[in-house]
Structure 1
Amino acid sequence: MKRHSGMGKRVKITGSGKILRQQTGLRHRLEVKSSHETRSLSGTVEVAKADVKRVKKMLGR
């Protein structure tokens, strides 16, 4: 079964097995958002526990 190539570009797996993703909301309308909001949206977060099984399946793991 082929893996989902788009998902591979969107997530990163750490050495301990956690799946990290970028936060949403940083692509457009940035002039409306406060500096505090844009700073807090930067960086990576862990994928939600409910989605981990689906994401791993898409990655072929």
Structure 2
Amino acid sequence: MFTSLARFVGGGAVRAALGHSVAWFATRLKTHKGMAKRVRVTGKGKLKCSAIGRRHRAQSNNGVKVQRLRKTDYITGADAKTIKGMIRAR
């Protein structure tokens, strides 16, 4: 039963042969702390972040762009899927 799972978990075949559960020995997937500090997950599962381009050298931007950058930004598409995996969001 565990031999098919053993290929996905490192060293699982040996542990399964000893009678141990393969899932019990699986490594813990840790949250990417740097990404977790920059992104918030909304109630519906969307990823919310602040707009980029506001940290420094903003004096070269015109006023309309600065106003637009004050708004909250949402991450979508393939980037959202990757980041959800990094922060373990469902």
The two structures have a TM-score, normalised by structure 2, of: 0.63
Q: Structure 1, residues 11-60: CA drift from partner, whole Å, max 9, x if none?
A: 01111111111111111111111111101111211102111111011002
Of Structure 1 and Structure 2, which has the larger fraction of its residues in helix? 2
Larger Rg: 2
- Unaligned 5+ segments in structure 2 are 1-28
- Unaligned 5+ segments in structure 1 are none
4+ residue stretches of structure 1 with deviation over 4 A?
A: none
Tell me which of 42, 48, 52 is aligned to 2:76. Answer: 48
Backbone CA RMSD of aligned residues: 1.0
Sequence identity, in percent? 36
The two structures have a TM-score, normalised by structure 1, of: 0.88
Q: Which has the higher contact order (CA 8 A, sep 6+)?
A: 1
Of Structure 1 and Structure 2, which has the larger fraction of its residues in strand? 1
